[in-house]
Structure 1
Amino acid sequence: MTSSTSNLRPLSAGLQQIAVDELNEVPQRVARDIAALRDWLDKQPHLCSCIDEQFLLAFLRGTKFSLEKAKQKIDRFYTLQKAIPEVFNEHRLADDPQVLEIIRAGVILRIPLDEEDTGPAVTIIRACSYDLDKFKFQDIIRVGSMFGEIMMFEDDNATVSGYMEIMDMTGVTAANLFALQPQMLSKFSAYADEAMPTRQKGIHFLNVPGAFETGFNSLRSFFPEKIKNRVSVSSDPEAIFERIPRKYLPEEYGGTKGSIKDILEQMEAKILSYREYFQETQNYGCNEKLREDSNPLFQRPEESHFGADGSFRMLNID
Structure 2
Amino acid sequence: MFSFLQVLPLCLFVSASPSQSMADQHESVSLCPPQADHATAAGHSWFPGPPPPMYSCTLTPELVAKAREELQEKPEWRLRDVQALRDMILKEHPNLRTRLDDAFLLRFLRARKFDYDRALQLLLNYHTGRKAWPEVFQDLKPSTVKHVLDLGFLTILPRPDPNGRYILFLQPGKWRPNDYPFVDNVRAIYLTLEKLIQPEETQVNGIVILADYTGVGMSQASNPGPSLAKKVVSILQDGFPIRIKAVNIINEPRIFKGIFAIIKPFLKEKMAERYVLHGSDLRSLQRNIPPSVLPEDYGGTAGRLDMSAWSRLLLDCEEEFIVEFCQPDPLEGVVLPDSMLFEGGQAGGKDEDAFRGLRSQLYYCY
TM range (shorter): 0.7 to 0.9
Percent identical among aligned pairs is 24
Q: Structure 1 residues 220 and 120 mapped into 2: Cα distance closer, same or farther (>3 Å)?
A: farther
For 1:155 and 1:129, how far apart are their aligned partners in 2?
A: 32
Question: What is the distance in 2 between the residues matched to 1:225 and 1:135?
Answer: 31
Q: Which of these residues, 17, 23, 32, is aligned with residue 71 of structure 2?
A: 23
**If the length of structure 2 is used for normalisation, what is the TM-score?**
0.73
- 1:80 is matched with 129
1:174-231 superposed Cα distances (whole Å, 9 cap, x missing partner): 112123544323311111101111122233332013x324424424435323333333
Change (3 A) 1:265 1:236: closer
CA contact (8 A) 2:152 2:308 kept: no
Aligned to 1:270: 313
- Is the contact between residue 49 and residue 285 of structure 1 (CA under 8 Å) also seen in structure 2? no
Shift of 1:316: 5.5
Going from structure 1 to structure 2, the CA distance change for 1:59 and 1:285 (only over 3 Å counts) comes to farther
Which amino acid in the other structure matches residue 270 of structure 1?
L
Equivalent residue, structure 2, for 1:305: 343
Structure 2 residue 134 is the aligned partner of structure 1 residue 94: no
Change (3 A) 1:276 1:52: farther
- Secondary structure, counterpart of 1:252 in structure 2: helix
Change (3 A) 1:147 1:103: same
Distance in 1, matches of 2:174 and 2:257, equals 22
Change (3 A) 1:225 1:28: closer
Which of 183, 188, 205 does residue 138 from structure 1 map onto? 183
* Contact 1:122/1:166 (<8 A) preserved: yes
**Structure 2 partner of 1:109:** 155
Within 5 A, what are the aligned runs for 1:106-255?
106-114=152-160, 117-154=162-199, 156-157=201-202, 159-179=203-223, 181-209=225-253, 211-221=254-264, 223-226=266-269, 227-238=271-282, 239-255=284-300
CA distance in 1, matches of 2:188, 2:211: 15
Q: Is the 8 Å Cα contact of residues 226 and 263 (structure 2) preserved in structure 1?
A: no
TM-score by length of 1: 0.82
CA drift at 1:245 = 1.3
CA distance in 2, matches of 1:314, 1:134: 29
Tell whether the 8 Å contact from 2:230 to 2:263 is kept in structure 1 after alignment. Answer: no
Q: Indicate conservation of the 8 Å contact 1:83/1:312, yes or no.
A: no
Please say if residues 106 and 260 of structure 1, whose CA atoms lie closer than 8 Å, have aligned partners that are also in contact. Answer: no
SS at match of 1:71: helix
Find the aligned partners of 2:128 and 2:134 in 1 and give their Cα distance. Answer: 11
Say whether the 8 Å CA contact 1:48–1:286 is kept in structure 2: yes
Distance 2:180 2:265 in 1: 22
- The verdict on how the C-alpha distance between 1:114 and 1:162 changes in structure 2, with shifts beyond 3 A counting, is closer
For each residue in 1:46-84, what CA deviation from the matched residue of structure 2 results, as whole angstroms up to 9, or x when unmatched?
A: 321123432221111011112222122111110122112
Moved over 4 A (4+): 315-318
**Where does the alignment leave 5 or more consecutive residues of structure 1 unmatched?**
none
| Contact map agreement 1:252 1:259 (CA 8 A) in 2 | yes
Conserved? CA contact 1:76–1:194, under 8 Å? yes
Equivalent residues of 1:217, 1:233 under 8 A apart: no
In 1, the alpha carbon distance for the partners of 2:337 and 2:288 equals 36
Does the aligned pair in 1 maintain the 2:130–2:137 contact within 8 Å? yes
SS at match of 1:109: strand
Amino acid at match of 2:264: S
Q: Quick check: 1:250–1:256 contact (8 Å CA) kept in 2? A: yes
Contact between 2:164 and 2:201, CA under 8 Å: does it hold in 1? no
Query: Which residue number in structure 2 is paired with residue 289 of structure 1?
Result: 333
* Structure 2 residue matching 1:87: 3-state secondary structure: helix
**Which of the numbers 111, 128, 148 marks the counterpart of 1:62?**
111
Q: Which runs of 5+ in 2 are unaligned?
A: 1-27, 34-52, 355-366
Structure possessing the higher radius of gyration over alpha carbons: 2
